[in-house]
Structure 1
């Protein structure tokens, strides 16, 4: 009995510690485990420097070498000059069913991407925006050439040579063609945008107009400031920043702070994979063509960071053209879509160390939703399924708890009989447990077993964009947000209180009071949790109460064991 109470108190204490630790991390303060949570700050003037500014003079990658993608030893092999943003730069807008994209003729950069079907958390009347170039946010998709002095890059003024900015009748794709010439290189960027898709294709062509052979390299990068999102919660921390995937080391997250102090660890030379800029629910990614490449990260300016890849185009003879292709994605973290685009891209939906449990839970939840059509009811059905899986273990535990409840009066008499003789009381109590075939730790098992499942489901509901703005019943219009009227947390407190009453009463009055207060404490904690998670726990509690009540009645109605 004492051991079971101790385990419960440890679980309760650990939950409070984890909640406080996440809160500390989310507000940028040191965590209890010494993890760095500080975010980079803006420059001294409080403004963001764009890649086209004079401060962004070193934001171009080095050319990839011909073998294995090694960086040339000579840092002066590339001549870079700082140029101010061209006043003639124009913005080209393309709108699809799901995206509104903005391209700048300066560098043919992707400077805007609005997700039309996803309302912003801070203002539901506006769509979520990933790529953006404004006074409050710098988030850009950039490409260019290096390895040849003055070759076209993301600071070069391009010309839009295609005429259509709207989809032709009956066609599902639209091509935007940008051209620029400098340094003896004629560069052509061709973006292909598709209806009802969040991915687009980019083809970079470089024609050598020099009288001598050249060896250019193509790069594609994402540049973003390190500012937190307005929609970030103050109660739980989610990852925002760059990520790299390679066949050698799989998914690798990179912190902005590590880029700033040049301590970022990731696979730099590879032949495949992707890179991304991740935030809660959404992601922008670059999937390069297979072949030797160099992954890189760099701090472009104060509070401005780039992650990209650079790949050699080979030696180009005069009038010869080299080609590099990549796929860009800017949209929600839809696991099925992401995995179809590139192996491992679905890992940006980060479930942490419990991915091995969370992935099957998400798969099952999605299958249930495909039949029901409502994520809330899918959670209810999933809860019933999980309860059935744990039914034998729960039944054994509830029988043990019911037996302990039944012998409660006898235990109280033993305590009065032995008084201050604690050793004698413990021996008598263990003899009674043995005689009644009671396992004092049996009641802890369903809680301990469900804790990993509970945490995994927490991350599934927290990280899955499908839960965002998904309604259940009436007042619950967003399963990824807290219950606005606190109905589910109150129901949870009530069900936990009923469960406490069904459990054996601790002989220690202080422990008994703690157990009665715990439902209230947990209900306060769950006020801030996603409604979908609280829904799972309420349904689980109701099923547990029904099962425990039936078993308790059966045990209490059975004749007592003869001493």
Structure 2
């Protein structure tokens, strides 16, 4: 019976690590162990260079009863302008007044630490666009706009930087876009002003969209990959809805189409771009495939009727930056949900909250992880102590069990009965030693997702050679120490009566260690410290009970 329980425990542990490894492989673009490799994606479509035609405007949302915008007949002549603040370098184009590139100055590129992370990028067709529909021929993201001169760099002592684009008259309407960049913020305030220069009242609709190719960054299997890449829609009623590119291609995308609130976003690992409108008002959401391997997510909202000579305005926010959980939660309801914890959100969120609080005190994420382990060990101290006492008793009676096994090796039924009798007499629960591992596994997996998803720990150093807790240990010191600690735990545990199981008890930690060589250093640090504290507690209990270690 004991052997069966121990075997079952190892099976659960093995399957858990196998599932983690499979998730790691899939998130890094590697084939799953349980499903065939996905078909190769179509090559990413590059954004048109200056002067090239954009995708057909027929791909834009067309509200019920309205005609699609005409496609640009010729390639318009455009220009781009770059602005710079303390946090971003952004490039905007006179073609539609669209934002075409955003470089985050506080975040290093994982592939090239000498450069910065670029979120919106023309090399991979990723743009933030807006325009008008509802009035055929009205200004849209294909209209060539005029850039109003102004400063391009946020100077010392200056808190805001504005950039304004104005369209020519089209279909009786003029559209002006004003971007306001603020010091210390990844939020760009965007104001749209629509002027009716015609002779009749007009009612237009304003769309805001993010257009992106379906490409995901190639990363090595040792780097933390994107937990989800693609569009997302949020409404108070339907909550957070991820829409993967494959569902869009197959026409099976499911999301809220209309609401009185909500926002749209393009999510990628660690970073996100989102159009936010916190005011209440009817809006329509759309997600679609614009062309081969090019996708858009956006929203459409009606503007008030514009009388001749009148102007109406609408204010929105464009966020392009890191998935910093507390800051996102303060911007819009549910925006922090773009930080994907997978199935373990119920544990991952409080774990991150606690880690963040510890980091606020200690000032280092590595020490915060160690402090978290200590707190968890304190919380589970008496439960672990009970389990370790059971293990100590098992080790104490192990010589008697071994003698029985040798004497009754040809009588398995009698052997099992005698073993159970000894366990009852000595009040030993063979299953009691399984409990600590089973209880720790959910926290282990939840912390795995915290480290995988938290941009706060991206490139966060601990000590000496550990310069990035979200990446593997470059010299494998932590995995080697973790392996040694696991083997020491096996030595402290009672030896299984079955010789084959006894060998497996030593082999399994070595096999499991293979996984840890490729896991984030922060996760290995968590497990190593947990092992060391467990060893110390088990050693102490063995001494108290007079069991030889």
TM-score for the superposition, normalised by structure 2: 0.94
Matched, 1:227 2:228: no
> Take 1:82 and 1:26, find their aligned partners in 2: how far apart are those partners?
38
Matched, 1:416 2:403: no
Matched, 1:518 2:503: no
SS in 2 for 1:401: helix
| Correspondence for 1:154 | 141
Change (3 A) 1:185 1:158: same
> Take 1:319 and 1:34, find their aligned partners in 2: how far apart are those partners?
61
- The within-5 A match list for 1:524-563 is 524-556=514-546
Contact 1:25–1:37 (CA under 8 A) maintained in structure 2: no
The structural deviation recorded for 1:37 is: 5.1
SS in 2 for 1:556: coil
Matched, 1:21 2:8: no
| Correspondence for 1:93 | 82
Which whole-Å deviations, capped at 9, do the CAs of 1:515-558 have from their partners, x for residues lacking one?
10122222221111110110111111110000001111222359
SS in 2 for 1:354: helix
> Take 2:345 and 2:155, find their aligned partners in 1: how far apart are those partners?
44
> Take 1:208 and 1:35, find their aligned partners in 2: how far apart are those partners?
56
Of residues 202, 221, 239, the one that matches 1:214 is 202
Of residues 395, 409, 413, the one that matches 1:405 is 395
Query: CA RMSD of the aligned region, Å?
Result: 2.1
Of residues 316, 322, 326, the one that matches 1:336 is 326
> Take 1:109 and 1:228, find their aligned partners in 2: how far apart are those partners?
22
Matched, 1:260 2:249: yes
SS in 1 for 2:384: helix
> Take 1:282 and 1:55, find their aligned partners in 2: how far apart are those partners?
25
| Correspondence for 2:60 | 60
Matched, 1:141 2:135: no
SS in 1 for 2:150: coil
| Correspondence for 1:183 | 171
Change (3 A) 1:407 1:435: same
The structural deviation recorded for 1:146 is: 0.5
The structural deviation recorded for 1:429 is: 1.1
Of residues 459, 483, 495, the one that matches 2:473 is 483
Change (3 A) 1:54 1:161: closer
Of residues 418, 429, 434, the one that matches 1:444 is 434
Contact 1:186–1:208 (CA under 8 A) maintained in structure 2: yes
> Take 2:420 and 2:156, find their aligned partners in 1: how far apart are those partners?
82
Change (3 A) 1:310 1:505: same
Contact 2:102–2:119 (CA under 8 A) maintained in structure 1: yes
> Take 2:156 and 2:472, find their aligned partners in 1: how far apart are those partners?
44
| Correspondence for 1:120 | 109
Of residues 381, 388, 396, the one that matches 1:391 is 381
The structural deviation recorded for 1:415 is: 1.5
Tell me the number of residue pairs that the alignment of Structure 1 and Structure 2 aligns: 543
| Correspondence for 1:10 | 11
Change (3 A) 1:148 1:455: same
Contact 1:198–1:330 (CA under 8 A) maintained in structure 2: yes
- The within-5 A match list for 1:448-527 is 448-527=438-517
The structural deviation recorded for 1:422 is: 1.8
| Correspondence for 2:153 | 166
Change (3 A) 1:28 1:384: closer
Moved more, 156-165 or 15-24: 15-24
> Take 2:412 and 2:126, find their aligned partners in 1: how far apart are those partners?
67
The structural deviation recorded for 1:39 is: 6.4
Contact 2:69–2:133 (CA under 8 A) maintained in structure 1: no
Matched, 1:379 2:369: yes
Contact 1:372–1:378 (CA under 8 A) maintained in structure 2: yes
Which whole-Å deviations, capped at 9, do the CAs of 1:381-409 have from their partners, x for residues lacking one?
11111111111111000001110111011
> Take 1:242 and 1:234, find their aligned partners in 2: how far apart are those partners?
26
Contact 1:399–1:552 (CA under 8 A) maintained in structure 2: yes
SS in 2 for 1:223: strand
> Take 2:546 and 2:438, find their aligned partners in 1: how far apart are those partners?
26
Change (3 A) 1:42 1:467: same
Matched, 1:431 2:421: yes
> Take 1:442 and 1:470, find their aligned partners in 2: how far apart are those partners?
38
Matched, 1:246 2:247: no
| Correspondence for 1:282 | 271
